[in-house]
Chains A and B, each alone.
Chain A
């Protein structure tokens, strides 16, 4: 008895293999497009900016003279902004996700809320800027402070963090939860000791994407009224400040050619800051991934 019709298989085999090769090529090409664009970008930025990138560039405030212009105020400002945005958005975002996934009853209200959160992720950032201006700057009288801008940015990235955290929490196997309940743990104990550690890698992936967006945004900050030039450093969260992308935008819009190089150097600093943030996230993620 023949289980396999060998001649039939042999006839179809080359086609199947060819399709496989074509698909592999297509997907490789897709990857290549992104990589090449990135490589060109890096090449342009680095060749343009590396000359301006030195100790003085990090130590100086912005200047009308390209050779004296520095990024100090903007770099420190961006770090301050992260100090506000990271804890606020992560705590609120993960908290919301835990409630929606673990505690909330599955009814139409919850579904409605979830759909709306996903929609919020697509709202133009300038709308959040207007919200921040009305609520934080004017109504709560926080002025054009790091706190007001940080809270505005937190709102902007919150939907992304909530959705990512929800997905991560949902992906934790039921068996783990049930085993925990079986041992007599309460819901909160299960969430804290079983669900969250298992979900941390996913949450962090969403979190880092969200924070990367927050560090690169300008539109909401312009609306909030964050200045483009300051020659002092903020001392508390109530002081005003400026951030890297605003400083870079300011330089790219200058008529003088030399400022384009200074802008490229600014972009390198922004990239390094991003890589630094990303690597912290990867470190934490690896720590937790080993456990399961």
Chain B
């Protein structure tokens, strides 16, 4: 009996190790052949934070592998808030954020003695969308947007916003409360007042796209990339902030004309990591130099050139 058990265990472990070793060894080969050349850095760069910023950081890390194959870059996506928690605890070198750092987070960072630098990476335009079959709605003013989304304890009908609109119940779709997108919307539109209670919240923006697509009376919001990939399925709403209705497009987001819903995306780097770890300094510089182009590739909008120059200058200061 013991023999059988022995054989069984050997088979299981052997199989697992063989698979692991098989794939491991061919990686070793490729990395050693690429790893030649001078100025090769080593070590780890740990980044975590917003899932909105994740595609940009993934793209940067992917490209960085080509120049510094021995630096181990890991990118997490535990949300802007989750990323800051880890950043405060000193677990990460960079915290990616789809909103600026909050006051309570700054206080905690100060308490822990973590000094940091804010770097802007790209723009995103929070897009307000309605169902394709919705014929009466084209644009909203910021006040109407607030009236729509702030909870008043009653069931909301379209006619509550503008009397000529139908008396049908509105269905709301919003990103989850952990997301920076929600935080940003909460700040600029809701002004910290509670959101309508029957809103459907989801951390997965594709769920919101499907929700709005399938419900005639739906309204929802999410990052620009999700709208631009689903242009044929959704109806985009122009937002009027008092200077005329503006539709979110590449140009209006970049110029800042699409206000107040065009927002910058950030990464926060720990000053200590830049000063002490050569690979973090090098990686951060690589991030700034490539963020614009790679952000465009994954569906965001690059900043004006001088913004990146400002980021680079800040980083140079740190390295001194």
Residues of A within 8 A of B (CB): 61-64, 72, 75-76, 79-80, 82-83, 86, 138, 144, 192-193, 197, 222-223, 225-233, 235, 240, 242, 250, 252-257, 280, 283-284, 287-288
Contact = CB atoms under 8 A, between A and B. Distances in A.
B206 A252 contact: yes
The list of the 3 closest CB pairs from A to B, nearest first, reads A227-B74, A64-B59, A255-B229
Contacts of B16: 79, 82-83, 86
Interface of B: 1-2, 4, 8, 11-12, 15-17, 19-20, 23-24, 27, 31, 44, 46, 48, 51, 54-55, 57-59, 61-62, 65, 72-78, 82, 86, 89, 91, 203-206, 209, 223, 225-226, 228-230, 294, 297-299
Contacts, number: 117
Contacts of B299: 255-256
B159 to A, nearest CB: 33
Nearest to B66: A231
B8 A284 contact: yes
A233 B62 contact: no
A229 B20 contact: no
A86 B86 CA distance: 29
A193 B4 CA distance: 12
Nearest to B75: A229
A288 B9 CA distance: 13
Contact of B76 (A61, A76, A79, A228): A228
A257 B77 contact: no
B317 to A, nearest CB: 28
Contact of A76 (B23, B48, B225): B23
Contacts of A80: 20
Contact of A250 (B24, B44, B77, B229): B77
Given A79-B20, A144-B91, A253-B205, 7 more contacts: A76-B23, A83-B16, A232-B31, A253-B203, A255-B223, A256-B299, A283-B11
Residue from A82, A83, A232 having most chain B Cβ neighbours under 10 A? A232
A174 to B, nearest CB: 20
B55 A64 contact: yes
Contacts of B19: 79
Contacts of A232: 27, 31, 72
Contacts of A231: 61-62, 65, 73
B297 to A, nearest CB: 6
A76 B27 CA distance: 11
A111 B24 CA distance: 47
A75 B24 CA distance: 11
21 contacts: A62-B58, A64-B55, A64-B58, A82-B16, A86-B12, A144-B74, A197-B1, A223-B78, A225-B86, A226-B76, A228-B77, A229-B54, A229-B61, A230-B74, A231-B73, A232-B27, A233-B24, A250-B54, A253-B205, A255-B229, A283-B11
A267 to B, nearest CB: 15
A253 B76 contact: no
Contacts of A255: 205-206, 209, 223, 225-226, 228-230, 299
A225 B294 contact: no
Nearest to A240: B74
B229 A63 contact: no
